[in-house]
Amino acid sequence: MKTLIAGVDGYLGWALALRLLSKGHQVIGIDNFYTRKAVKEVGSDSALPIGSFHQRIRGLPKDKMSKIALYKADVTDYGRLKKIISKYRPDSIVDFAEQRSAPYSMRSRETASHTLSNNIIGTLNFIYAIKEINREIHFLKMGTMGEYGTPNFDIPESTFIEASINGKTDRIITPKYAGSWYHWSKVYDTDNLIFANKIWGLTTTDIMQGPVYGTRTSEITDSRLFTRFDFDETWGTVLNRYCVEAVLGMPLTPYGSGGQTRAFLSLEDSVTALSLLLENPPASGNYRTVNQFTETYSVLELANIVQERASALGLKTEIKNVDNPRVEAETHYYNPERKILPGLGLKGPTKNLKDEIEVIIKDLLPYKNRLEKHRSVIAPKTNWRA
């Protein structure tokens, strides 16, 4: 299989590239290195050091090195994107190339505008390139479970649901109620993809993924192959942030009461899920919505688990709830459906969360001095209400 990964230099992109290469697939990578620059701009850095992209590729065994090509390119540049896709004519395209921070998107009009234009135009460019070059390309677009928000009903894993108004019934797009401009950008992507499928029959997998945690996959077996790992308030996901707080002896900081429940999965399960979806595309011309997660926890439950595992490693931490900078329900119903990935073989978490937390902390400990320099960027500063 020949797969183009847009956003290949990122947390998920690099890990997926390694997985696909290890399965003998060919990878064409695109990235404009936006995340590297944006993380530096908030005074932070990847907790685990990563080399330049070319250094990363040179660290691969020769047989894998020859199966990956890299382009520095911006997916909002349609001409360049189309040229690369036309040159390689991949079987599938994975789109990770988006601004992926909710707090960044909420900082100002400018950052909201950048998030919406980068993400929506990037996806639109893929839609047009696929339509013009080869409509049989399987487009696997990474969205987020955050598109749904936290409705007081079960979240179906389907593109449409039936709704009745005044006794009349019709099919409507599964309701979405996102909680940041970033999450809304993904909702708009979804709407555009559903429309493109309706008019041009593009074969699409739209993934609603929960927050991913972890440092390792079966391929990331030594530090030269590390993927990036962000922990600051803008770019870090919750569990990764708690682990860095534990390493630095800082309190673990759930926002508000910590009852916000989300759907999580490990980096290992994320790349396994993605390769299963790539190897098992929907029938030609079909659109598939996938809820990609393996377990649900409240953010307070996660803090308790990190505290316990850190303590087992001799790291004493307290839990200190901080004012919630976001506008979100702290007590709510949460029951997303999950049937497609279990049907393809990913039945539950393949790694135990507690063991994974221990692995993350052990991977971070050698870089404690590096993390010390960035203490001040962990506490939340971006206020949704401001």
Ligand X SMILES: NC(=O)c1ccc[n+]([C@@H]2O[C@H](COP(=O)([O-])OP(=O)(O)OC[C@H]3O[C@@H](n4cnc5c(N)ncnc54)[C@H](O)[C@@H]3O)[C@@H](O)[C@H]2O)c1
Query: Residue 14 is which amino acid?
Result: W
Tally of CA atoms within 13 A in the half-sphere of 4 that contains its CB: 28
Say if residue 283 is exposed, middle or buried (CB neighbours under 10 Å; 0-12, 13-18, 19+): exposed
Q: Which of 20, 50, 97, 357 is the binder for ligand X (CB under 6 A)?
A: 97
User: Residue 177 contacts by C-beta under 8 Å, 6 or more apart in sequence?
Assistant: 148, 149, 151
Which lies closer to ligand X via its Cβ, residue 211 or residue 336?
211
C-alpha torsion sign, points 78, 80, 83, 89: negative
The active-site residue, picked from 34, 104, 182, 287, is: 182
E strands present in 276-353? 287-292, 295-298
Using CB under 6 A as the binding rule, whether residue 47 contacts ligand X is answered as no
Window 120 to 139, contacts with ligand X (CB under 6 A): 122
Using CB under 6 A as the binding rule, whether residue 241 contacts ligand X is answered as no
Helix (H) / strand (E) containing 265 = strand 261-266
Residue 111 annotated among the catalytic residues of the structure: no
The active-site residue, picked from 64, 186, 294, 297, is: 186
Using CB under 6 A as the binding rule, whether residue 260 contacts ligand X is answered as no
Using CB under 6 A as the binding rule, whether residue 34 contacts ligand X is answered as yes
Q: Which of 12, 85, 196, 341 is the binder for ligand X (CB under 6 A)?
A: 12
Question: Cα–Cα distance between 272 and 269 in angstroms, integer?
Answer: 5
Residue 373 annotated among the catalytic residues of the structure: no
Say which residue the tokens 């040229």 belong to: 83
Q: Which of 92, 197, 204, 209 is the binder for ligand X (CB under 6 A)?
A: 209
Using CB under 6 A as the binding rule, whether residue 258 contacts ligand X is answered as no
Cβ 32 to ligand X shortest distance, Å = 4
Where do the H-state alpha helices sit in 75-207?
78-88, 102-105, 109-133, 181-200
Cβ 143 to ligand X shortest distance, Å = 7
Q: Which of 253, 250, 273, 238 is nearest to 357 (CA)?
A: 238
**Pairing relationship of beta strands 212-213 and 261-266 according to DSSP bridges:** parallel
x/- track of binding to ligand X for residues 155-194 (CB under 6 A):
----------------------------------------
Residue 186 annotated among the catalytic residues of the structure: yes
Q: Which of 205, 237, 253, 291 is the binder for ligand X (CB under 6 A)?
A: 237
Cβ 339 to ligand X shortest distance, Å = 19
Question: Cα–Cα distance between 113 and 40 in angstroms, integer?
Answer: 20
Residue of this chain nearest to ligand X (CB atom): 10
List residues near ligand X by CB under 6 A: 6-7, 9-13, 30-35, 74-76, 96-100, 118, 122, 142, 144, 209, 211-212, 228, 237
Tell me the catalytic residues: 144, 182, 186
